[in-house]
Amino acid sequence: MNKEIISKIIGRLKQEESFPDWWKSEEIAIPFFDNEKLTITFMDFEPEHDKTFIDEADQALTNFLKLNTDDRNLISELAYKNCMNFLDAVGFDEADEPLRQIKNKNEIWNFIQPTEIYVTRRPYNEQDIYVQIACECEWEQEHGLQLVFRQGKKLTRISDQDGHLTEADAYDKPDEEDELLSRF
């Protein structure tokens, strides 16, 4: 039997059968991606054990849904850098030539396709709420790309989809040594 929870921001979320601590919304227009419609999933959430999750997730989503393409363009340099670092690491492939020919860094978004948004609590340290956007991208077909926003406000990680919300968690280093997270 599937249960439901209610978000004041995105409405009804239905419990996933395969993952009972995942709760999925209907598709929502996302201003950050030109109002492209994506589902939002609350992950690792057990209502009986985390009484403040929905309110904190709603606040993070309120923050995130205020971000638009202008805000997205402010992080184009980081997305472009992620792409170029990957291409440099794997070596030349003719199929990557359109990426190498990008003149305006904002064009990088033409090569990134968001697929789903996850809202989850960081299991370590401050245990804040993070909004994580899973994306496919032209340069990293196997692991894709993720954009992670702490409290939905500010980008704190851009990387392949590796299951970690922060560089600090991924590489087991202190938060203050995590370049983007330490700026929050």
Segment 53-92, tens digit of pLDDT:
999 999 999 999 999 999 999 999 999 999 999 998 988 7
Binning pLDDT at 50, 70 and 90, where does residue 112 land? very high
Domain spans, the chain:
1-184
Q: What is the pLDDT of residue 2?
A: 67
In this prediction, residues 38-45 reach a mean pLDDT of 98
HSE (side-chain half, CA atoms, 13 Å) at 29: 6
Q: What is the pLDDT of residue 45?
A: 97
In this prediction, residues 137-154 reach a mean pLDDT of 95
Q: What is the pLDDT of residue 91?
A: 80
Global pTM reads: 0.93
Q: What end-to-end distance do the CA atoms of the chain give, in Å?
A: 40
| 12-16, 104-108, 125-129, 144-148: least confident range | 125-129
Alpha helices in the chain (DSSP H): 53-65, 69-74, 76-90, 97-100, 167-170
Is 139:99 a contact under the CB 8 Å cutoff? yes
Tens digit of pLDDT for each residue in 7-22?
Answer: 999 999 999 999 999 9
